[in-house]
Chain A
Amino acid sequence: MPIRKTIYNDFQGSSSPRRKRRGVQPGDFQDPLSDYSPPQFDDDLEQDLAELTIADMDAWPPLVVAPTDSIENAIKRMREDDFGCVLVIDSENKLVGIFSERDVLNKIAGHFEATRKLPVSVVMTHNPVVIYDSDPPAKALNMMAIGSFRHLAVLDADDKPIGILGPRRVNAFLQKYFS
């Protein structure tokens, strides 16, 4: 009760914003965006990096395996499809990891016989960095050039993996601005 009373008193008070608004006439309307100045870009590439989306970069469709698939099978898939990584997804099509050439170099080389039958979930990178298809290309550049992530899993708004973005794909996107 005391709270309700306080609100009522505020509404009745002469300093209430609602009361002030009553005095505004239709002709007095001012567009809140009237003084908005859009960002200025020095270069077409700079503008596209900020305003296009990852969907415009034509990421490769992902190569996927299950967490229970063997390391040997994952490597075989990567070799057959000439991919630098595979996305590891669970039964609900959620991304749980990524297994890349770098994992093969760091964890498998010299231990292939001992590890080939193990599930890929043992050596994959858990909870990898991701990028959404609605993100700007500038974000991919940030994650690759500054964050040093070579492969980015591309997700849609439902967190479903829909692509893989690697440095070659990003370079291909940039090519048209270079010539």
Chain B
Amino acid sequence: MGLHEHILTDPVIEMELRELIPCRPDQTVATAVDTMKLSRLGCVVVIDDAGKPIGKFTERHLMKIIDQPKTLDDPLEKHMTPCQSIVNQNEPVQKLIDIMRDRDSRFVCVVDDAGKAVALTGAKGVLEYVTEHFPRVVKVQMMQGKLFFDQREGA
């Protein structure tokens, strides 16, 4: 079975998903920034009381307000954008890819059947998925190679 067939049949939940770090809309931007730093994630998902995603705050949002230090004390809901990039964990990977393309989104929130946010994935998740399908051409690559050696090898 080729990659195309896998994409059509593999559910999103079988991918390597990121742990989702949820935030509440009344939490401050500073709290979200600290969370992103600690979890080494470029995005936090804002959820409501039922655990459903209602917004997201990313590094790109931070870039827009970085020169206004007072905004760090604002509630997240003031600077987040609605979380429209959502995929059900049981839907095929193709659905995730379509959402990323149609919404030009780097992050996609993964939800369960009840609509609760359970994980985060996105562009990097898709790259990891493709890598796992072609290990013999991708995993053999040198990480930091040079075209030419600085010094001659040998004596």
Contacts and interface: CB of A to CB of B under 8 A. Distances in A.
Interface string B96-120: 0100110010100000000000000
Interface size range on A against B:
35 or more
Contacts of B145: 135, 139
Given A145-B124, A171-B100, A109 B2 contact: no
Contacts of B143: 129, 142-143, 146-147
Nearest to B126: A171
Contacts of B62: 101, 104-105, 109
Interface size range on B against A:
35 or more
A174 B66 contact: no
Nearest to B123: A167
Nearest to A71: B66
Contact of A145 (B66, B127, B142): B127
Contacts of A143: 141, 143
Q: Is the interface of B mostly helix, strand, loop or mixed?
A: helix
B64 interface: yes
Contacts of B133: 46
Interface of A: 41-43, 45-46, 49-50, 72, 75, 78-79, 84, 101-102, 104-106, 108-110, 112-113, 116, 129-130, 132, 134-136, 138-139, 141-148, 150, 157, 167-168, 170-171, 174-175, 177-178
